[in-house]
Structure formats: structure tokens, C-alpha cells
């Protein structure tokens, strides 16, 4: 079987996660890497991979699907519509409040160019979204809730860390999300509480500022805390640290989370459904989901299903490397 050719767009943490995932999927091959920093890519690959930076050179990479690995705040709103003019695409756009707007924009560009695109793939949005829909279908009347950063140290959010790094005066940053345990227990107890996002999580930022002027650090902190769609609804703590401390103490990229729904069946009997994931490497986990979605994207394209899709629209069989006979025999 001919391998599906994948272009990686953006070679940061998620791009590296996608590259490692490709090595674990024998039906996939790397077509090339599109990067704003070709020297960084060459340092890792030498002349094996020739990265490109100019849109005029996209024809150099003959890819079946391009996986867009940029950030949701500034990169994907521009890159998504551009790249879907040239390739079938998969991305991990994760600004929840803006997903409907982003979906319709990508759908318009994809249909105009005869392409297929899967947006907002990953684990939330992504696999968590799928489980929220399933829980709502299987336990009508419940309110599925998602919690992230279950342990004491919380979970590192790549999208929120990237958003903090876009703030003027920030040299580097990490953002950790913390679930509020009492909120989880209220859901598990069957209350079905109408919780605000701020009642479910709080956020913690470790920031390296370009200079240590107190007024400048206060401005940075205020801008982070008031950032819409990222921090404004939450209790947010901002800590300023040196680059050395950030690299030494916050070099790992773990994350975890769960989706939980509690309700009743027909005779009023307690029922609960829970889906949980634990990732020692958040970007590698995201990369694995993106690669599976690239497989599904190419299957959709070959069936002439153009336009934008999400993981809610994709069958598990399309995500899988296995044939229908194998799925019926080994997974049913």
C-alpha cells in the first residue's frame, strides 16, 4: 500500500511530536517540513530534509496532507485558510469559543479549492469532544464536564503557553492548568452542577521577562490575566522566573485530564461514564492524534468528501490503520 505523504507545517514542539508519530505509523511517510526557521530544521536533519519558508516554493513538497502545527492564537487563523488552498489539511485549533467561526472559514476555503480539512484535532478539542457527545447521547440529561491538570503540579498547556509568549516583553513562558478537585467530586456525586469555567480550573504561568523592570512585569502580568478566551475567566497566578529556572524546573511537558458525565438510567439508577488520558508528553500525544486524523483526512478526500470536518464527523474506522475485517475480528 502506498504511504500517505505528510507535510509538517511548523517544527516546534507539536511538529516534533508529529514527526515522531509518523515513525510509528507504517502507512505514513514524511514529504517535507515547512518552517519559518529552516536553520533549526537543518541542524536536526542535515540535508535529508530541505525545509522551505516561501509560499512560492510549496510545489517542492508533494504531500497528500499537510499537518499544521502552529499556535491557535496567531498562526492558525492565517495559516489554515492559506494552506488549505494548496493541500488537504489537519490542524489543532483549540480556541474553543472561536471554533464555529474558524470551521466555517476553513470550510469555505476548502470547498472553493476542492480540498478536505480536519480542524481542531487533538485531545481537547478532539477526543474529549467526541466523548462529550457520546456521553450526552448515552446518558440524556447529563452535563458532561472536562477537567485538566489533575495532579498537584497541573498540566502544561501548549496553546496557553504560546499565547503567553505572544505578549510583548515575554521572552519565554510555560502555563499550567490545575483542576479544582472539589468540582470533580460534585460532578461524580451526581449533582450535575452548572459550573463556570472558573469554578472548574485555575491557571498558573511561569514567565521569563525580557527585562526585570517592576513596571514592565506588572504590565505583562495584567495583560496575561485579562487575556480573553485564555485567562480572563480564571483565577490566574503569574510567577516571574529566570530562563535557567524555567529550563531546569519546567522542561517537561506532561498533561492529563478526564471527561465525566453522571446521570440516571430509566428507573432512576445512578450511572456514570468517564474517559481519562494521561500524557507524559503533551506534544507527542497531540502529534499522534493529528497523524491519525491525517489518515482519516486522506480517506475522506479519496471519497470526494471535501470541505471542513471535525473529529465529531469522523468514524473510528477512518482513523484506524486496520482494515474493516481486522476491526471486526480484533476490535469488535
**Could you list the pLDDT tens digit for every one of the 332 residues in the chain?**
689 999 999 999 999 999 999 999 999 999 989 888 878 888 887 766 655 655 566 767 899 999 999 988 889 999 999 999 999 999 999 999 999 999 999 999 999 999 999 999 999 999 999 999 999 999 998 889 999 999 989 999 988 999 999 999 999 999 999 999 999 999 999 888 889 999 999 999 999 999 999 999 999 999 999 999 899 989 999 999 999 999 999 988 999 999 999 999 999 999 999 999 999 999 999 999 999 999 999 999 999 999 999 999 999 999 999 999 999 999 99
CATH no. for residue 167? 3.30.360.10
248 and 158 belong to one structural domain: yes
Task: Compute φ and ψ for 258, nearest 5 degrees.
Answer: -145, 155
162 and 97 belong to one structural domain: no
pLDDT reported for residue 14: 95
211 and 291 belong to one structural domain: no
C-alpha count within 13 angstroms, C-beta hemisphere, residue 196: 7
Domains in the chain, number: 2
* Residue 263: inside a domain: no
* Residue 10: inside a domain: yes
pTM score: 0.89
* Residue 260: inside a domain: no
CA 227 to chain centre: 19
* Residue 8: inside a domain: yes
Which of the 8 DSSP states describes residue 2?
A: P
Cα(276)–Cα(274) distance, integer angstroms: 7
pLDDT reported for residue 55: 58
pLDDT reported for residue 42: 80
98 and 173 belong to one structural domain: no
* Residue 269: inside a domain: no
User: Is the Cβ–Cβ distance between 68 and 87 less than 8 Å?
Assistant: no
Beta pairing class for 201-209 and 235-240 = parallel
pLDDT reported for residue 203: 97
* Residue 209: inside a domain: yes
* Residue 133: inside a domain: no
Using alpha carbons, select from 278, 240, 282, 256 the residue that is nearest to residue 178.
256
User: Is the Cβ–Cβ distance between 282 and 158 less than 8 Å?
Assistant: yes
240 and 305 belong to one structural domain: no
pLDDT reported for residue 51: 59
CATH no. for residue 106? 3.40.50.720
Q: Which three three-digit cell numbers place residue 311? A: 473529529
List C-alpha distances in Å: 50 to 36, 43, 84, 89, 250: 12, 11, 21, 20, 31
101 and 180 belong to one structural domain: no
- Where in the sequence is the domain holding 207, given as residue range(s)? 154-253
91 and 163 belong to one structural domain: no
16 and 120 belong to one structural domain: yes
User: Is the Cβ–Cβ distance between 223 and 166 less than 8 Å?
Assistant: no
- Which DSSP string do the residues of 151-200 spell out, in sequence order? STT-EE-HHHHHHHHTSTTEEEEEEEEEE-HHHHHHHHTT------GGGT
200 and 307 belong to one structural domain: no
Amino acid at each position: 500500500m502506498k504511504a500517505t505523504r505528510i507535510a509538517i507545517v511548523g517544527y516546534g514542539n507539536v511538529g516534533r511530536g508529529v514527526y515522531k508519530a509518523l515513525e510509528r505509523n507504517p502507512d505514513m511517510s514524511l514529504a517535507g517540513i515547512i518552517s519559518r526557521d529552516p536553520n533549526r530544521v537543518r541542524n536536526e536533519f542535515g540535508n535529508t530534509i530541505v525545509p522551505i519558508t516561501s509560499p512560492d516554493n510549496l510545489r517542492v513538497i508533494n504531500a497528500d496532507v499537510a499537518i499544521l502545527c502552529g499556535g491557535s492564537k496567531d498562526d492558525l487563523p492565517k495559516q489554515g485558510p492559506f494552506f488549505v488552498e494548496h493541500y488537504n489539511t489537519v490542524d489543532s485549533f483549540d480556541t474553543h469559543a472561536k471554533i464555529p467561526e474558524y470551521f466555517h472559514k476553513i470550510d469555505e476555503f476548502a470547498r472553493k479549492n476542492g480540498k478536505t480539512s480536519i480542524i481542531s484535532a487533538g485531545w481537547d478539542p478532539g477526543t474529549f469532544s467526541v466523548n462529550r457527545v457520546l456521553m450526552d447521547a448515552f446518558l440524556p440529561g447529563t452535563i458532561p464536564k472536562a477537567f485538566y491538570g489533575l495532579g498537584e503540579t497541573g498540566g502544561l498547556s501548549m496553546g496557553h503557553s504560546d499565547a503567553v509568549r505572544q505578549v510583548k516583553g515575554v521572552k519565554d513562558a510555560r502555563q499550567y492548568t490545575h483542576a479544582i478537585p472539589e468540582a470533580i467530586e460534585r460532578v461524580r456525586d451526581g449533582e450535575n452542577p452548572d459550573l463556570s469555567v472558573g469554578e472548574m480550573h485555575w491557571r498558573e504561568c511561569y514567565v521569563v521577562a525580557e527585562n526585570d523592570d517592576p513596571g514592565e512585569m506588572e504590565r505583562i502580568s495584567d495583560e496575561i490575566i485579562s487575556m480573553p478566551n485564555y485567562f480572563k475567566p480564571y483565577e490566574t497566578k503569574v510567577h516571574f522566573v529566570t530562563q535557567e529556572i524555567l529550563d531546569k524546573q519546567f522542561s517537561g511537558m506532561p498533561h492529563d485530564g478526564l471527561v465525566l458525565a453522571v446521570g440516571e438510567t430509566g428507573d432512576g439508577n445512578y450511572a456514570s461514564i468517564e474517559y481519562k488520558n494521561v500524557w507524559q508528553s503533551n506534544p507527542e500525544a497531540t502529534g499522534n492524534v493529528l497523524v491519525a486524523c491525517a489518515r482519516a483526512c486522506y480517506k475522506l478526500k479519496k471519497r470526494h468528501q471535501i470541505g471542513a470536518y471535525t473529529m465529531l464527523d469522523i468514524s473510528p474506522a477512518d482513523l484506524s490503520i486496520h482494515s474493516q475485517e481486522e476491526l471486526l475480528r480484533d476490535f469488535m
